Amino acid sequence: MKVAFFDAKPYDHIYFDKAFAQAGFKVKYYEGRLSTDLAVLAKGCDVVCTFVNAQVDKECINALEEQGVKLIALRCAGFNNVDFKAAFKKIHVVRVPAYSPYSVAEHAASLLLSMNRKIQRAHMRVREGNFTLNGLIGMDLHGKTAGVIGTGKIGQCFIDIAKGFGMRALAYDPFPNNKLDVEYVSLEELWPQADIISLHCPLTKETKDIVSSQSIEQMKEGVLLINTSRGGLIDTDALIEGLKSGKIGGAGLDVYEEEGEYFYEDFSSEVITDDNLLRLMSYPNVLVTSHQAFFTYEALEEIARVTVDNIKTFEKDEFLENEICYQCEMKGDCRRRKDRKNCW
């Protein structure tokens, strides 16, 4: 198997070089992000391996098919950046559905703690010899209510963390986990009760802008908002208005609605032209990180392992456990998983 690996970073080599060598795969690394224009670089390769911010749209898929690509291996969990209906019966698409739920949940907690206790501001002050406490007051998390939207593995980990702080946990999920020790409520009940809201759901048509001007209006005054899932879950304009009015007391964002142009790249010597991103970064009660919640040794090792295993399974023409299920999306009936057979 020959693999074209796009958006390659130095840390990718650390984990993928060994995994590909052990599998006997030939790999070409490209620093550029996969696009229609760069699809020609995959000529002669069976597989392209790409990451979360590459826009694998219909044109890109058609260009990859022309180069002979048979598999798109996403080294991430999310797949909202892929037009997988366009890929149906052309190119199989697999992903890494889970790598380390602890890494993401713990980063969400880190954002919460840092934002609530003004850690970043305090650190910068002390570095400059300013040891005053004015403006650094936070609140006890113990006894507060955490509203968790999405109770998959990551959401479950965050609920455990919240409970560890002595918080009451409320959860919303259209598909509740009855085995989970948490109180499920509707969004209409969650918004006004939660002191902290943490998003742990995928980006779909149903969850796009789940945090909107309407939902913000229903929230508690001064609520803290955490997002380590997908930027599109939040209407950025509504978030800015909520911050300006004080309705939202702070936001910890590891993802951003229009992050594709900037995240994972170095713009320290260039002018950032995204006005909304600049405004968010200028607020003292907003903490932005560059989609790094997944970034732990354990997660990177698991991502490499599962990605290579996905390619091995495809090479053997076996059932692709981690293939995106086209039948579910197109017909609402997952015969693929019932019969343990690939979609096509």
Active site residues: 230, 259, 291
Q: Helix 236-245 and helix 275-282: axis angle, to 10°?
A: 30
Amino acid at 157: C
Identify whether the C-beta of residue 31 lies closer than 8 Å to the C-beta of residue 8.
Answer: yes
SS3 281: helix
| Residue 122, CA distances (Å) to 16, 279, 287, 294, 302 in order | 38, 21, 13, 26, 35
Report CA dihedral (317, 319, 323, 325) to the nearest 10 degrees. 120
- d(CA 313, CA 328) in angstroms, rounded, equals 21
Residue 76 is given by DSSP the state S
- d(CA 118, CA 113) in angstroms, rounded, equals 8
SS3 142: coil
Identify whether the C-beta of residue 38 lies closer than 8 Å to the C-beta of residue 30.
Answer: yes
Query: Pairing relation of β-strands 71-74 and 47-50?
Result: parallel
Q: Which residue has the tokens 């969400």?
A: 108
Nearest Cα residue to 162 out of 176, 180, 181, 141: 141
Amino acid at 56: V
